[in-house]
Structure 1
Amino acid sequence: MKNVSICGSQLQHLMPFPNIVQAMQIEGVDVFCGLIHTEDPQFDVNAPENIQKVLVKKRAFSCNYRDKNLILKTAVNAPKDCFYTVGSDFVGEVVAVGAEVSEFQVGDRVIGNNSYPDSGVVGLLPGVPTNNASKEYQSFHQAKLLKIPPKMSDESAAAFSIGGQTAYSMIRKLNIQPGANVLVTAAKSNTSLFAINALKQYKVNLYATSTSMRFAQELKDMGVKQLIRVNQEDDDWLASAQMREVYDETGGFNYIIDPFFDLHLGKVISLFVPRAGGKYITCGFYDQYSQFTGKEFQYYGLPCNQILVNMMVNNIHLIGNCVGTTEDLQRAIQDCANGNFSVAIDSVFQGDRIKEFFERTYNAKDRFGKVIYRYE
């Protein structure tokens, strides 16, 4: 079995299989990554622990922002003779099913179901099925998987679950009305790209922010009316001449979708239509790994009391979101199959190009979309 892994520095010399371990840096931290070979797992379909489970052989996987914390934590803290498999999105093929599995059969292509806050099964934890999606073989409870249609490519499917489920959940909670002004922050982040692609089906005026104008045309092609360049060190984005111009022309935003509340909430709270009851929704935060890099996170934005006063005076709804329901993911899959929703794919890697996969995922400034590793 193959495992794309974060490795201890001495691992290559200690394991009996022919492994590939390469050195790189992420956020200034030395990271060893590799393709590690282990024995294939045994799966007894009649064993009590497996009767509701499905054995999946991965075809491809990808990493998300949440994986960066786990990668750096492993690089800093793990013993030199260990390895840690990574990844939280995947596509695979069912190769065995437990005796009481009713939803799947051998040969089905599947992706992870991150349903939250309810897994749908008493006693089964909700949320992401695995932090180890790069394991070539892995077993899951059948409730933690969903079948995908033939029209969905392996590359799209390997990047799909968390972004699709999250984007569709946020848009459902916002209940966006036609003709509204919608702002998506951090336009080139994966979550924002999912949200932008999902919003193409809505008759809204879609705007996005970024710290650079790179990929402005690509974002316009995805439905963004205008990409607004902002400065992360501003406390209020109305200080941006371009943002001020858009704000004066539109009268402000009705909805704001933000993947990083600690970067942006204090900067965007003044951008809503005054006294109109706008909605702000967030699904994550940026400062997830500074404890491993030694680089202290610096907050820029209005202080908490000004944020809350602005919310009260303007009747702003502040909404939190953690992935989504099974129905959210099913809608995203159906829209993808029907050609109404797509995944931005940056690049695909195979074979021993492990270092290149991680470099592209976390270090490439010109990355646009998800980076996929595909098993040969």
Structure 2
Amino acid sequence: MKAVALVNKNFFNKKNNNNIYNVNLSGVNLNCGVVDIPKPHFDNKHYKNDNYVLIRVLSFSCNYRDKGIILKSALRMNSGNTYNQMPVSFFGSDFVGIVEEIGKNVSRFNIGDRVIPNCSYPKADNDTAAPGVVTNEASKGWLRINEAKLIAIDDSMDDDIAAGFSIGGQTSESMIRRTHIHEGQKALVLSARSNTSLFIINGLLKRNIDTTIMSTTDWSSEELSIVNGAHYIKISRNSKCWPDDIGKFDVIFDPFFDLHLSDAVKHLNINGRYITCGYKNQHDNFKESTDYLHENNLSRIMIQSMINNLSIMGNCIGTTEDLKRAISKYSRSMKPFRIYDTLSSESIDKFINETYNLRQRFGKVIMKY
């Protein structure tokens, strides 16, 4: 299989360097290319494979969490120290694949089933598997995975959507469930163009929740039609605080607490809930000149929270039931996110550039094998 990866030029001779593409990510040079990954041997009689399946990846995508993983791998490769370095490094945490081999105790799947990750957290689906994200190496093409870490999907969901579904679907349903928001209440979704936020918006609208979205980017009429029914607020990227006239909300959903928490608590009703699933500056290289505008003051946040009986919640992914609920709510007519581009392995540089460097991008970028 032809798979994409970061490559360490120290391990490649010069004649192969023509097949290496360069991309800049947060000021760091990435060397990436296409490598041959043969089908690994999978002994279905060996006890270590009893609960495992071998997956052939059809398509995959990257989430914001993958950005830090990619950057750290590139910095190691660029360090000049070849001791204990890998010649290649794979990436990607969302995927769709086909079951090619199964262990003798596998009961959930048959060869030929199409599957996506089940990142159930804080508990895995059974005690033979660890909780959390299934893989950081979806680009590798061949994956050996515990059956508890996968879930089957039918043909109603095409590969492009399936390759970017699991983490966003599981996280959004968990966040909506844990806030106990219901019809008649008002929700605000921040950083509305992020894929997690698009999942949340879709989930709220399907529940008939009065939903407002906030963004620092202009949305076209076609883009707004994807979140039809939501109220749209645009704020300036250089704003030190939100305008007072945006009102107050019962629940605020936020993918980046380090950008928004101080402002968010000021715009919650009494007994309001704020929930977040991530932060922007996961690496020092991610910081931008405007980030100083959004420094969180813990004392002000806690005083506001005490006065108004607010709940501040952190959320990490979700349960198997959350993922099942996300899948059950999926419909072709109201997809939870948009596909920006679908690329082949020869366009690995374009894939990384569109995924992380294109500020106006709206939707997921999919790598198709």
**How far is the alpha carbon of 1:230 from its aligned partner?**
2.0
Which of the residues 281, 291, 303 maps onto 1:309? 303
Which of the residues 100, 104, 109 maps onto 2:114? 109
8 Å CA contact 1:258, 1:264 repeated in 2: yes
- Indicate the SS of the match to 2:101: strand
Give the aligned partner of residue 231 of structure 2.
226
8 Å CA contact 1:112, 1:144 repeated in 2: yes
**How far is the alpha carbon of 1:364 from its aligned partner?**
1.1
Say which is worse superposed, 308-317 or 228-237, in terms of deviation.
228-237
Give the aligned partner of residue 158 of structure 1.
163
**Residue 2 (1) aligns with residue 2 (2):** yes
Note the 1:269-308 alignment, pairs <5 A.
269-273=265-269, 276-290=270-284, 292=285, 298=292, 300-301=294-295, 303-308=297-302
- Indicate the SS of the match to 1:6: strand
- Indicate the SS of the match to 2:138: coil
Distance 2:227 2:252 in 1: 17
**Residue 207 (1) aligns with residue 212 (2):** yes
Give the aligned partner of residue 370 of structure 1.
364
- Indicate the SS of the match to 1:278: strand
User: CA offsets, 1:5-50, max 9 Å, x none?
Assistant: 112134442899x993201101121111111113321101111110
Which of the residues 262, 267, 284 maps onto 2:263? 267
8 Å CA contact 2:55, 2:100 repeated in 1: yes
Say which is worse superposed, 33-42 or 326-335, in terms of deviation.
33-42
Note the 1:314-353 alignment, pairs <5 A.
314-337=308-331, 341-353=335-347
Give the letter aligned to residue 261 of structure 1: F
**How far is the alpha carbon of 1:344 from its aligned partner?**
1.6
Distance 1:337 1:50 in 2: 35
**How far is the alpha carbon of 1:3 from its aligned partner?**
2.5
Distance 1:293 1:203 in 2: 36
Give the aligned partner of residue 19 of structure 2.
20
Distance 1:316 1:293 in 2: 30
8 Å CA contact 2:59, 2:159 repeated in 1: yes
Distance 2:107 2:128 in 1: 19
8 Å CA contact 1:196, 1:222 repeated in 2: yes
Note the 1:16-55 alignment, pairs <5 A.
20-55=19-54
8 Å CA contact 2:61, 2:365 repeated in 1: yes
What is the TM-score normalised by the length of structure 1? Answer: 0.90
8 Å CA contact 2:125, 2:149 repeated in 1: no
Distance 2:340 2:174 in 1: 24
Distance 1:22 1:140 in 2: 30
**Residue 148 (1) aligns with residue 153 (2):** yes
Give the aligned partner of residue 129 of structure 1.
134
8 Å CA contact 1:12, 1:21 repeated in 2: no
How many residues are matched? 362
Note the 1:47-86 alignment, pairs <5 A.
47-78=46-77, 79=82, 82-86=87-91
Give the aligned partner of residue 256 of structure 1.
252
**How far is the alpha carbon of 1:337 from its aligned partner?**
5.0
Which of the residues 72, 96, 102 maps onto 1:91? 96
Distance 2:158 2:220 in 1: 24
**How far is the alpha carbon of 1:95 from its aligned partner?**
0.7
Distance 1:278 1:97 in 2: 47
**How far is the alpha carbon of 1:232 from its aligned partner?**
4.4
8 Å CA contact 2:186, 2:210 repeated in 1: yes
- Indicate the SS of the match to 1:255: strand
For the structure 1 residues 236 and 77, does the alpha-carbon distance in structure 2 shift closer, same or farther, using more than 3 Å as the test?
Answer: same
Distance 1:72 1:266 in 2: 28
- Indicate the SS of the match to 1:116: coil
**How far is the alpha carbon of 1:150 from its aligned partner?**
1.1
Distance 1:22 1:302 in 2: 39
Which runs of 5 or more structure 1 residues have no equivalent in the other structure? none
Say which is worse superposed, 215-224 or 255-264, in terms of deviation.
215-224
For the structure 1 residues 220 and 181, does the alpha-carbon distance in structure 2 shift closer, same or farther, using more than 3 Å as the test?
Answer: farther
**How far is the alpha carbon of 1:68 from its aligned partner?**
0.3
Distance 1:90 1:192 in 2: 19
User: CA offsets, 1:145-180, max 9 Å, x none?
Assistant: 000011110000000000000001101111112122
Give the letter aligned to residue 246 of structure 2: V
For the structure 1 residues 143 and 167, does the alpha-carbon distance in structure 2 shift closer, same or farther, using more than 3 Å as the test?
Answer: same
**Residue 360 (1) aligns with residue 357 (2):** no
8 Å CA contact 1:55, 1:95 repeated in 2: yes
User: CA offsets, 1:240-278, max 9 Å, x none?
Assistant: 2xxx3331xxxx1111000000111012110112xx201
**How far is the alpha carbon of 1:121 from its aligned partner?**
2.1
**How far is the alpha carbon of 1:300 from its aligned partner?**
1.7
Distance 2:331 2:223 in 1: 22
- Indicate the SS of the match to 2:304: helix
Which runs of 5 or more structure 2 residues have no equivalent in the other structure? none
Distance 2:136 2:293 in 1: 29
**How far is the alpha carbon of 1:224 from its aligned partner?**
5.0
Distance 1:198 1:347 in 2: 23
Give the letter aligned to residue 288 of structure 1: Q
Say which is worse superposed, 216-225 or 159-168, in terms of deviation.
216-225
For the structure 1 residues 293 and 260, does the alpha-carbon distance in structure 2 shift closer, same or farther, using more than 3 Å as the test?
Answer: closer
